[in-house]
A and B are shown apart, each in its own frame.
Chain A
Amino acid sequence: MTEPRRPFRGFPPPAKPIRVPGGLTARSKRGEIAQTWWSRRFIEVLESFGMGGRLQSGKRYARAGQVLSLTVSTSLVTGLVQGSRPEPYKVRIAVKAFGAQDWKRIERALAGQALYAAKLLAGEFPTEVEEVFTKLGLRLFPDSMRELTMDCSCPDWEVPCKHLAAACYLLAESFDEDPFQILAWRGRSRADLLERLRELRSRRPAAPEEPDEPEPAEPEPDAESFWTAPPPPATRAPQPPAEPDALLDQLAPLPLSLGGQRLIDLLRPAYESFRGDQDG
């Protein structure tokens, strides 16, 4: 690992940041942070700016847990980042939200096909959704830094500073986890959007949610019933899947690799061995 160059700006070299417990830690520990095409799209804007050093520091900040909080709301992401001073810095990343009229058009288009909501709810941001925006003449992903307004309470005058970069990386990761976040930033929270889509589908308000019933507590074994075995469950033999490694495809992609090969593919031969002798 090479030490990132510290640009000399006439100040003494920056002090080390104060470590904080319980900060938001980027789960990606090496290499790229954004894993999906939709979060990459956002990070690319950041990286296109060509400020390697601060981005690297930001990435390290993100991984070290220096970002204390991050909140996505309409057009604004706010966060607290622990720097070298005792008081955490406030960061803000703003984008232009779509207006009410635009959203009406967007929602009508999204309600037109079940595909959009289905994929989003399944944790994917389908390219088709971006096309919906494009067709309506709207740009979902900011494609240059000009569309983003950022500020940070730190003394660094460069934008984005490493604190902002750290927040951006975590924001990208939250897009990975919940693709609805992108839309929330643009003005429609997940709940609002789903509600609107449901209305457009059925033109009727949804029934209120019922509170969950508390689960009955598991009875503790006692001396009286100890040796009385409960009836065994009816066992239905599992049907073996067509392919021995079907499970690997059933799970979400595993974002890990070794020497350029995907770990998933390195694991596949093991599943061939598990099946072993068909009779066994």
Chain B
Amino acid sequence: MIVLHGLVTPDGAIACWAEDADLPARTTSKAKLARHPFALDAAALAELFAEQKPFPQAGRDLVVSLPSRGGTPDDSPELVRDPLTAGPAARGEHRLRDWKIPVVTPASAVLSSIVDMELPDGRVGADLRYLADIARWAEELVAAGKVVPGIAGTTRTASARWQAGLYGADAVRFTARAAALPAPCRAARLADPAEDVLRAAVHTMVDTIARERLAGQRLAPKLGKRPTPADATAHAWLTALTGAPEFDADAVEFGRLAGRLADWQASGSQTSPVRACFRLRSPEQFDDAALDDEAEAEEPVWRLEFLVQAVEEPSVLVSAEDIWSERDNLVLHRWVGAPQEVLLAELGRASRLFEPLNTALREPRPVELELDTDGAYAFLTHASTLDQAGFGVQLPSWWQQPVELGLKLTSASRGTAGVVAKNTAAGLKALVDYRWDLALGDAELTEAELRALAEAKVPLVRLRGQWVQVDPKRVAAGLAFLRRSGSGQMAAGQVLLRAAHPDEADLPLPVTGVADRGWLGDLLSGTVERQLEPVDPPPGFTATLRPYQRRGLAWLAFLDSLGLGACLADDMGLGKTVQLIALEALARKESPRPPTLVICPMSMVGTWQREAARFAPGLAVLVHHGSNRLTGEELTETIGKHDLVVTTYSLATKDSTALGEIEWDRVVLDEAQNIKNSASRQSQTVRQFPARHRIALTGTPVENRLAELWSIMDFANPGVLGSVNSFRARFSVPIERDNDTGAAARLRKLTGPFVLRRLKTDPKIIDDLPEKFELKQLCTLTAEQASLYQAVVDDMLARIEDSEGMERRGLVLATMSKLKQVCNHPAQLLGDGSRIAGRSGKLARLEDILAEALADGDKVLCFTQFAAFGGMLVPHLSARFDTEVLFLHGGTSKKAREDAVRRFQSPDGPKIFLLSLKAGGTGLTLTAANHVVHLDRWWNPAVEDQATDRAFRIGQRRDVQVRKFVCIGTLEEKIDAMIEEKKALAQLVVGAGENWLTELSTSQLRELVTLSSEAVID
């Protein structure tokens, strides 16, 4: 595994380097300045960034100081080595030692999103995360115009540069960030103070980003024929701010320009530890009479109170009154000696930004400024300017969370969802009566309120006991719209569109609400699943659906009948696949339809194939995979004869031309988070397949970013959430960055009609669940696994004829063991420490399961009978999920064992626990887990059950899911089938372990180990 780190170089750039757990921990070099023994070399480092645009510059080697013992640098906390192969701990004095490391310097755009970068077998260190956050901050600073132009260098090497304008609140943020600068970021310049290191990095990034945004722009006007030296220098400097940074200047002019700019930049700095704070209070906050509507005739008076605030401790606030009377100055004396003068200077400075303050300054001891509503509005609009300039500003809460003036649509659809589900004529084309109202948020406005709004002269109006900001022009436009088209009839589908696209250009105001009392209302409120009658699958369907699955089927069928795309987002283990297969069986019961395309991860193809065959034998299923898969016309023709076509994401992309020519009845995405990146080729391709209906299945609609939800929803119902950019502005930024609960509620409402998500922790669902939830997880082999498997089989068959007795038994047992290792991972059989990622079907499936479990906050036990396999997985899974992975094997000491169990059981402890079946199968209490995965099989149900019971040990938990991994078409599946079919016999023969295998005849053995063609998907 690899850990990617970041540091600030001596010239202020941010560079990346990496540790590689597969390299030796210790240097053999005797040189004083040696190469870091396990730093990734320059070529491999560049390879990590191969996909990134722009491609980062390879740097020279850097010298860094790292804590070390002798010839061994410390591993960073993120680096995890295979515990079974790692050497003994290093000895010697613990001290900082210099090492040479190769580095690359990525562009700031790459840096700011580095946490999202695909690192198949790597993770990002805390130091680089910190710098990525700084890169994002630099981008925000530039976007907000918080940059100042300046000069670097001397006369001979003059260059223009943009610098961060770190004033006011940003200066405070800078100090806080500098205090949190991780030491590894300073490894190349440990002698410099943290503030200098961070400042250099921020300025460098800001300069780069600013120049990117200014590319091609010219700030300097044309220069006259004989410019004065001053003009020539100013011109050269302005030009250098957008072009090549270097410029020529004569010594005198350079000095003058540099001096003026330095003074200018410094003029924004606030060095005082206290500042003025302005608090706006609306009339009713201090004047009870203003609450009285009778008193409305009088012009309400607002108060802007002056206070002094400690910058570091904003809760320390002293009123101007106390400052003048020196009553409470002791509090402030901790920060400042002469608070009166500070208050005066601050008021003087603020009066430059908000001119009306001058009025208050006409008094000898000003404590507040009285404002009328007009003036209050003016102040509110200046508030952010004052805030940026470093003043404290306290505004009424309603200003920060404005209530939006908008239009509310009320429609009256007829009938219930159940009726509509059966009668297609009553669907989206049916006409419904509607009425528009002006509304504040969700509340419709009365005639009187509308009049008050229309007559308001100031954009601040008091309505229903709260102040709201309204633009008179918008009110007028809204009223005109109501007069023009306040009511009438529209198609039900139109109502849905209004709900989805509240900002349509044909409306003068955004839509703040859509309400309906009929079936449309149920759909819009996201409660339609509860209104529908549960649906039974058609006769011939062999699985029994649980109650919540029958409700899910009804919901899918309802949206299907309306042609609305659906996202079924039930928790993992609740049976999304079986609900979808039931829908297909139901839909195809009456009349034939074009085929449905199911796109799923490679590791799920077998599951789809097996479950469709088992539950709905009437469906014709085609698996489109393998190197000898059909192409061209033959493919088109064959597809036409099938109901379900199952393929993988990678093949859907590869064969997109052929698959895109077919008119599908439905396109289904299983594990739809695979298209979470809407810009990826895979994601673009599957969107383009023509289909009457689309369904996305996923247990984790949002893994990391809200944009993933956009991508999935936009697949199911193209355009439903608007463009990705408007989605970002409307939802992603407010919800992710500002924690805007209002926006989150709006998004839930908007997606409600199309998303059905049931949680396994939901009491209603738990009652529906079986006591023990156990399922076989069917996995496929990769091509590499298949060829290795074949080689092991061939080798055994070649030798078995000539062997007998002990030798034969030994050969059979060794072969069985090897085959099981191949099914686990090629690297386990080869034992060569080769790459882990992307070579095993089981591993791919395990990663999917872990991803979902971790996203739900669940804990997972993984059992294997091979300690070596567990050891291999520890570094890989730590990197893949950027988390700690516990491991318990035969060599674990008693103390370490108890420690691991205790930590796993604690709520905040590690969430993944790998155990070797022998060491961890008995005697432990691991009830914190609600998932158990058996990575390989012991063929002894009793042993497996014993291990499973680690998680079930106490209490009757119904939410524990047990998965047994089985590779399709291999001996694993065949032995599993034997056990299932002859359970009684099997328990007899299998009870003693695997020895019974050695008693099989050669032809039985051949039958058992032969690889069937469906085993591999590639």
Query: A residues within 8 Å of B by Cβ?
Result: 1, 27-31, 63, 111-115, 117-124, 194, 198, 201-202, 204, 206-207, 209-210, 218, 220-247, 249-252, 254-259, 261, 263, 266-267, 269-271, 273-280
Contact = CB atoms under 8 A, between A and B. Distances in A.
B143 A276 contact: yes
A29 B385 contact: no
Contacts of B329: 207
B96 interface: yes
B639 interface: no
A267 B219 contact: yes
21 contacts: A30-B256, A113-B364, A121-B344, A198-B341, A202-B326, A220-B190, A227-B76, A244-B145, A246-B388, A250-B268, A250-B353, A250-B389, A251-B267, A254-B260, A254-B261, A266-B219, A270-B149, A270-B210, A270-B241, A274-B145, A274-B147
A274 B210 contact: yes
B238 A226 contact: no
B366 interface: yes
B231 interface: yes
A224 B94 contact: yes
Given A121-B345, A221-B190, A222-B96, A258 B231 contact: yes
Contacts of A204: 326
A114 B228 CA distance: 44
Interface string B252-276: 1101110111011101100000000
Interface in B155-170: 165, 167, 169-170
Interface stretch (B174-182, B447-455, B683-691, B946-954): B174-182
A279 B734 CA distance: 12
B234 A256 contact: yes
B238 A266 contact: yes
Contact of B363 (A29, A114, A122): A114
Contact of B126 (A117, A229, A236, A278): A229
Interface of chain B, main secondary structure: helix
Given A207-B326, A230-B179, A251-B265, A224 B67 contact: yes
B333 A259 contact: no
Contacts of B362: 113-115
A61 to B, nearest CB: 14
B352 interface: yes
B361 A223 contact: no
A136 B364 CA distance: 18
A223 B94 CA distance: 6
Query: Which A-B residue pairs are the 8 nearest by beta carbons?
Result: A29-B256, A122-B348, A118-B348, A252-B267, A121-B345, A209-B337, A223-B67, A115-B361
Contacts of B229: 1, 30
Interface in B192-237: 193-194, 210, 213-214, 217, 219-221, 223-224, 227-231, 234-235
Contacts of A239: 384, 387-388
A2 B280 CA distance: 59
Contacts of B49: none
B184 interface: yes
A29 B94 contact: no
A246 B324 contact: no
B947 to A, nearest CB: 36
B305 to A, nearest CB: 15
Nearest to A63: B252
A223 B255 contact: no
Given A207-B333, A242-B385, A247-B145, A27 B268 contact: no
Contacts of A63: 252
Nearest to A280: B143
A76 B228 CA distance: 37
Given A240-B144, A247-B148, A251-B148, A233 B176 contact: yes
B140 interface: yes
B351 interface: yes
Contact of B264 (A112, A218, A252, A270): A252
A104 B767 CA distance: 89
B373 interface: no
Contacts of B234: 256-258, 263
B145 A31 contact: no
Contact of A232 (B133, B140, B338, B358): B133
Nearest to A118: B348
B726 interface: yes
Count chain A CB atoms within 10 A of each CB in B167, B324, B348, B353 and give the residue with the most: B348
B588 interface: no
B877 to A, nearest CB: 21
Interface string B336-363: 0110110011111101110000101111
B472 to A, nearest CB: 20
Contacts of B180: 229-233
B547 to A, nearest CB: 44
A271 B145 contact: yes
A233 B726 contact: no
A162 to B, nearest CB: 18
A100 B146 CA distance: 48
Contacts of B260: 27-28, 254-256
B364 A114 contact: yes
A241 B388 contact: yes
A261 B325 CA distance: 48
A30 B230 CA distance: 7
A280 B256 CA distance: 37
Given A31-B230, A269-B217, A273-B217, A206 B338 contact: yes
A270 B242 contact: yes
Interface string B306-343: 00000000000000000011100100010001101100
Contacts of A240: 143-145, 384
A4 to B, nearest CB: 16
B142 interface: yes
B241 to A, nearest CB: 7
Count chain A CB atoms within 10 A of each CB in B186, B230, B340 and give the residue with the most: B340
A114 B366 contact: yes
Given A201-B340, A238-B144, A227 B67 contact: yes
Contacts of A218: 193-194
B183 interface: yes
Contacts of B353: 249-250
A186 to B, nearest CB: 20
Contact of A227 (B147, B183, B340): B183
Contacts of B238: 258, 263, 266-267
Contact of B213 (A230, A243, A258, A276): A276
B738 interface: yes
Contacts of B347: 114, 118, 122
B256 A266 contact: no
A235 B358 CA distance: 35
Contacts of A29: 230, 252-253, 255-256, 259
